[in-house]
A = this chain, B = another copy of it.
């Protein structure tokens, strides 16, 4: 296995509704899984309120330290949707009406009551120099500026925008993961886990305890960019769990 560049991404979630506890976030997991399929690692997430200066400073910190930066939230038609303005400010560019976005919205609202109102036209605004990201779910597009990808906050619309980006970003190897469960309290096998990880450079083992069906257990997740390494590590872990009297369960419990 040759060592290749690890491509990294950060996610900036823009949303008072997440910080107030009103809405449970669904975007971290879906963006993380999608990025891994592209060979890109999600290595930091920040959630900030709908306040321009907080968005600008979060975005500038994240976009300068990762290959890619994704945002979710704040691109609808209402007054609390300020992501485009904040991203333009972070890049030091103007906000413009993107002609293709305008055409998409004109088409979409042509036969709908009210037509393309000023509020709806907000969804055609982008930072100057931006490209659009198609949205098969609800038409109003996402936006790409440099290494920043602006997605909707509503999870199924964000998912449609990720679909449109599928395979378009440069990435490296996928992180593979292999889960092995056991009815073992993690504190009973902590030494064994540490040793198994140490014996397998290139693999990381995470331990996730649970309480289920009246008993304690743990799922052990082996992560590696190399499938053979991960399998080997998994085989050793299974043997050692059996040696301690715990029956390993492939795929986890």
Contacts and interface: CB of A to CB of B under 8 A. Distances in A.
A209 B157 CA distance: 11
A141 to B, nearest CB: 15
A188 B41 CA distance: 39
A25 interface: yes
B46 A46 contact: yes
Contacts of A206: 16-17, 50, 80
Contact of A19 (B24, B45, B50, B117): B45
A22 interface: yes
The count of identical subunits is 2
Interface string A9-22: 00001001111111
A98 B114 CA distance: 66
Interface size class of A (residues with CB under 8 A): 35 or more
Interface of A: 13, 16-26, 28-33, 36, 41-50, 54, 76-80, 113-114, 117-120, 122-123, 154, 175, 177, 186-188, 190-191, 193-194, 197, 204-209, 221, 223
